[in-house]
Copies of this chain bind each other. A is one copy, B any other.
Amino acid sequence: MIRIGIYGYGNLGRGVECAIKQNADMELVGVFTRRDPSTVKTVTGASVYHVDDALSMTDKIDVMIICGGSATDLPVQTPALVKHFNVIDSFDTHAKIPEHFANVDAAAKESGKIGIISCGWDPGMFSINRLYAMSVLPDGESYTFWGKGVSQGHSDAIRRIDGVADARQYTIPVETALEAVRSGKNPSLTTREKHTRECFVVAKEGADKARIENEIKTMPNYFADYDTTVHFISQEELNRDHSGIPHGGFVIRSGKTGKDLENNHIIEYSLKLDSNPEFTASVIVAYARAAYKLSANGDKGCKTVFDIAPAMLSPLSGEEIRKNLL
């Protein structure tokens, strides 16, 4: 049995807790929280410990799955914890990945542990598919589309507007852009041409809806470069119709081969997810198995999904996967 710890207990941590139940070769030792453990109720009845107790349990945990946020938690937690545990995180602040990798790699090489960073679906499964497709079709163009799905960051940005009680924002890929890519035309697409944004907003009593809508649609970085639709609805409607956290998207590469590059090929990978955090957690748990195997093989240092052979993710033996899946 691979013994797992969960460090940080929000949506992602709960997803990891459930995913471990689906993998017969894993057991959850416990959840580590900054809160008072007596106040935390877990989904499956897992034990809860205070984060301060983690370092006394290094011999009870094979892989610590760090479920903190990328902004301030992971840059500190992952390098610190890899000094004591094999760890895995979902760090997704793209511009800071090189720095995070270097920090985790230095700490992991010193401790002799494995640290897998930036695991999930993007970064994660989408990244792998970009790499495979680009390696197989060097003459081509890659495209990533996200959605339809809830963007937490954009929803939060709307909630910060004066007069907004609650909000949910969906990122939606533009179907005609998807079709143009799939046709092999290798189109150049602007931000506006790739995605639209749809917002469901609960206004506070007496708030000026026209002003709120205008503030949303003109917000730099978040909405100004997109065609944005705003719907005002009640809190009840928001709770009833928009409480899920679906997401997904498409990685498409269109590339050419042949003596005169006369033949075109389309490689497409897509995800349609009812629950973004639960799917992310499922990817992380499969890579936790890889962290365990890599460590058992004597490997150490920081890894990403690019560095890990597919067989490492599976509970099956090499013989079984060759016989049943090749």
Contacts of A41 in B (CB 8 A): none
- Main secondary structure on A side of the interface with B: helix
- Give 9 nearest A-B pairs by CB, closest first: A263-B274, A135-B313, A306-B311, A257-B278, A266-B272, A263-B275, A135-B286, A130-B325, A123-B326
Closest residue of chain B to A15 (Cβ to Cβ) is B257
Identical copies in the complex? 2
Digit string of A306-317 for contact with B (CB within 8 Å is 1, else 0)?
111111011100
- Given the known interface contacts A97-B323, A269-B269, the answer about A132 and B310 at a Cβ–Cβ threshold of 8 Å is yes
Those of A263-321 within 8 Å (CB) of chain B:
263-275, 278-279, 281-283, 286, 289, 304-311, 313-315, 318-319, 321
Query: Chain B interface: which of A16-24, A76-84, A204-212, A226-234?
Result: A16-24
A binding-site residues for B, Cβ under 8 Å: 15, 18-19, 22-23, 43-44, 94, 97-98, 101, 118, 123, 125, 127-132, 134-139, 182, 257-259, 263-275, 278-279, 281-283, 286, 289, 304-311, 313-315, 318-319, 321-323, 325-326
Known: A136-B283, A306-B318. A325 touches B43 (CB 8 A): no
Expressed in whole angstroms, the Cα–Cα distance for A15 and B258 within the complex equals: 7
Q: A310-B306, A322-B98, A325-B131 are in contact. Are A265 and B272 (CB under 8 A)?
A: yes
Q: Within 8 Å CB of A135, what residues of B? A: 286, 289, 310, 313-315
Shortest CB–CB separation between residue A6 and chain B, in angstroms? 15
